Amino acid sequence: MRTAEWLTPRLISRLEALQLSVRSVRAGNRFGGRFPINRRGSSIEFADYFPYCAGDDIRSIDWNLYARLDRLFVKTYKEEIALSVELMVDATASMGLPTPEKFERAAQLAIALGYVGLAGGHHVRLSWIAPGRLAPSPWFHQRARLFDMAEPSGRIRPSGQTSFGDWMRRASIALRMRGGQAILFTDGMVRPAEFFSGLHALMVRNMELKVIQVLTPQELHPAPLARGGLLIDSESGASHQLAYSPSELERAVAGHNEQLARFCKRNGILFTQYRTDEPLDSFLTKTLPACGFLE
């Protein structure tokens, strides 16, 4: 994927007019920003009191308040931070099927939304969901770094299998994700329980989540595949005798995708689908603002 072919000046200009929607910020990158939060410690402006918890710095305890109430409280202070935006692109084998275009579009969407984040003054990091060790990008916080952020995507090829839930748990801990925003780009071709487990690992770390399911028209309407034969999982190698009627296969695929969408809706996670036959700029500038992903 050569970045110059799709990151045109016209598209970049249109992306600069957009902003990531942000519901709340509980933590982030403290390199300066525009989101006020209350945090334990010390700063210039006092914010509020919170009950003391084990592990809090005893220097933040208000001893005068303790003398009056016989209870321990710590002071919190206002601080302005930059939003941390984690872009996570599924790079497992299923993302390369039925054509490599699916993975290319997922990476392009991630880079485009990353640029929207940079233009909005946020701090952006890109990770690939793949087997092996975690290999995230550095933090980017200047829009001039757009092509540095985009360059590695041309070298990534979707392959292998990894547990979606385990990867999310490892990443959330190792990359110290907490209180920012996470945007996931995936085809959702995992067991629903794995999908739910992975998102839950981010939810418990107070991440604001957004999910874009990237699918080809053939995957959304797979009736032509329903001619019998042996179906082989591209990631696990497991085989399954395909004996669905066209209508049964359509219902099974629609039911799977609906499960993912319902879970997200119940848990306050923004969810939308992207079909690879939809023009990229139309999806970014019209569909995503209409779905609440962008403003």
Q: pLDDT digit string (tens) for 172-218?
A: 999 999 888 999 999 999 999 999 999 999 999 989 999 999 999 99
What per-residue confidence (pLDDT) applies to 58?
73
Per-residue model confidence (pLDDT) at position 42: 46
Least confident span in 49-58, 165-174, 179-188, 259-268:
49-58
Element (H, E) at 261: helix 246-266
Give residue 80's pLDDT.
61
Place 62 in a pLDDT band, splitting at 50, 70 and 90.
confident
* E-state strands within the chain: 35-40, 45-51, 73-81, 84-90, 123-129, 181-186, 208-215, 230-232, 239-241, 270-275
Distance, CA of 224 to CA of 245 (rounded, Å) = 10
Q: Interior CA angle at 211 toward 26 and 124, to 5°? A: 55
Which pLDDT does position 73 carry in this prediction?
Answer: 83
pLDDT tens-digit series, residues 63-83? 888 888 888 887 666 556 678
Specify the pLDDT at position 65: 81
Q: What is the pTM of this model?
A: 0.80
**CA separation (Å) from 271 to 169, 234, 258?**
20, 25, 11
Q: From residue 167, how far is each of 182, 201, 215, 269 by CA, in Å?
A: 14, 10, 21, 19
Query: Which of 24-33, 121-130, 195-204, 276-285 is the least confident region?
Result: 24-33
Q: Mean pLDDT in the chain?
A: 85
**What pLDDT is recorded for position 269?**
97
209: nearest Cα among 29, 22, 19, 36: 22
- Express each pLDDT in 128-163 by its tens digit: 999 999 999 999 999 999 999 999 888 899 999 999
